[in-house]
């Protein structure tokens, strides 16, 4: 199944869209990569795209942000080139998010989050609840 992701580069990052584009292309994966003003689009089979995202995130872990895209690259429904200009669908939201990425990057850097897996809670049987209520 094909997936399309947008990797957005924080404005305070030393990495450019072009450098990220060439890095991902250089991985030699069977994916389509398109450079944008905010980062890159990556499209292809789920496993291949996830490999590219994982490797890209190692470059600047706190300054690259991944967003799944609902449309494939060059989709005629939202592609401005195929529509002969017009407004960019979703651009205003992306622009607003882009402006606050340095703040988010700083928060992530300071927090140094530790990922802990929660233990799956076991379901309580009805009989156990009834026994507890009857005991009181």
Domain count, the chain: 1
- Give the residue with greater pLDDT, 136 vs 125: 125
Boundaries of domain holding 121: 2-135
Q: In what order do the strands lie in the sheet with 2-9?
A: 31-35, 39-45, 2-9, 64-68
Q: How confident is the model at residue 82 (pLDDT cuts 50, 70, 90)?
A: low
Considering the entire predicted model, what is its pTM? 0.68
Query: CA–CA distance from 114 to each of 38, 54, 67, 109, 117 (Å)?
Result: 28, 18, 22, 12, 10
Give the angle subtended at the CA of 55 by the CAs of 8 and 74, to the nearest 5°: 45
């Amino acid at each position: 199944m094909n997936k399309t992701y947008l990797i957005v580069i924080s404005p305070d990052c030393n990495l450019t869209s072009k450098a990220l584009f060439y890095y991902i292309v250089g991985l030699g994966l069977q994916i389509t990569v398109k450079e944008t003003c905010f980062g890159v689009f990556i499209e292809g089979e789920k496993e291949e795209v996830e490999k590219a995202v994982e490797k890209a995130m190692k470059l600047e872990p706190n300054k690259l942000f991944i967003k799944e895209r609902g449309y494939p690259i060059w989709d005629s429904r939202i592609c401005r080139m195929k529509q002969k200009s017009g407004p960019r669908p979703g651009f205003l939201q992306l622009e607003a998010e882009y402006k606050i990425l340095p703040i988010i990057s700083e928060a992530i850097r300071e927090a140094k989050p530790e990922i802990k897996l929660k233990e799956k809670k076991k379901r309580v049987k009805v009989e156990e609840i009834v026994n507890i209520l009857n005991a009181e």
